[in-house]
Amino acid sequence: MIHSNHLSIFLCGDVMTGRGIDQVLPHPGDPRIYESWIKDSRSYRDLAQKTNGPIPAPVSFDYIWGAALDELQQRRPHIRIVNLETAITTSMKYWPGKGINYKMHPGNTPCLTTAGIDACALANNHVLDWEYEGLADTLDSLHSAQIKTAGAGANINDALAPAIIPIPKSENHVLLFSCGFMSSGILSQWAATDNRAGIVLMDESTRLKPDHLRAWVNRYRKPGDYTIFSIHRGGNWGYEIPQSHRDFAHMLIDEVEVDIVHGHSSHHPRAIEMHEGKPIFYGCGDFINDYEGISGYEKYRDDLRAMYFVTIDTDTRTITQLDIIPLQACRFSLRRPKPEDTTFMTTLFARKEKKFGCDVRMNDNAGISLLWK
């Protein structure tokens, strides 16, 4: 139970409800896709069924969340934030030459509202897969469902505007800012401008000035607000964290006074750093996708997923608790992992956290608690 002087925030990595996931939901869209090896998104459903067994399609909107909904019901976090990595559209005009194009039918948007998602970070490498019409449809669908967005818009001013989420029983808010880097696969043409829709895109080769970022955040931040900076950056695989990623995250905390750095793009969880008492998630990993049965990276155990719960003492504005809840993807749903899989993830985090002076322990709720000084 969350006490009145605590703020609880749920975060996760990439939520990819398009393609094969869309095909098992109540309103599957046109299955045609334009990948070099697969032309029908139902093939990903078939691959998952061949790997793990039948999927009872059409599934209910809550099916894809599985055990995650039980955890959300038990913890009742005040704020729920995901990185939504798909377009929500019926458009057939795909971005040519991109290779992989994700979309979900607008009729399946309730799969997000059923989990009580408050806001979606959108500055990623799939939100414009179905061109500008697809982006406009995505924004319309999310806003119609009362889900706030950050990182994408009809122009640069819209894209820069954060998702402003009221904190229950408080005059303050949580502000979600979202940006993407080209190293995650985002095309340069996707950058929003004064007269073009798109996302907030940053260039790896450009030194980002703290005063510009501070001015951006302070344009919206009011005294007492909390700030989350969501970043889509880096490759899909591997645990190494480039120094440039650390430097940027430290600067956001030290000079922009961000409270949480929410990183994603990796297909598996990466390390978490506590810097000046504030968490930096260098890669939250995938959360929902249609990757079951795709081989080649088994050593990373990308079937294991993670929910992250951050608890803040609102009297002192300090992070008092950070819990990781392991889950496992199976038949396009999330289930509790076997004890040995939870042990695997705990051991993995323990090994990666040593670099940052943190430790982990398994807690009584079948989860993992991050420990720091």
Please give the pLDDT value at position 203: 82
Q: According to the model, what pLDDT value does residue 1 have?
A: 38
For tokens 């406009």, name the residue.
Answer: 136
Question: Model confidence at 2, in pLDDT bands (50, 70, 90)?
Answer: very low
143-183: pLDDT as tens digits: 999 999 999 999 999 999 999 999 998 999 999 999 999 99
Give per-residue pLDDT as tens, 23-81. 999 999 999 999 999 999 999 999 999 999 999 999 999 999 999 999 999 999 999 99
Instruction: Assess whether pLDDT exceeds 80 at residue 4.
Output: no
**Residue-level pLDDT at 87:** 98
259: closest CA among 360, 327, 172, 201? 172
Query: In the structure, what pLDDT confidence band is assigned to residue 3 with cuts at 50, 70 and 90?
Result: low
Question: 366 to each of 77, 336, 352, how far by Cα in Å?
Answer: 18, 9, 20
- pLDDT by residue (tens digit) across 121-138? 999 999 999 999 999 999
**The model's pTM:** 0.97
Please give the Cα distance from 20 to 224 (Å, whole number).
42
Is the per-residue pLDDT at 204 higher than 80? no
At residue 207 the predicted structure's pLDDT band, cuts being 50, 70 and 90, is low
Tokens of 232: 């889509």
Confidence at residue 257, expressed as pLDDT on a 0 to 100 scale: 97
**Rounded CA separation 37/296 (Å):** 16
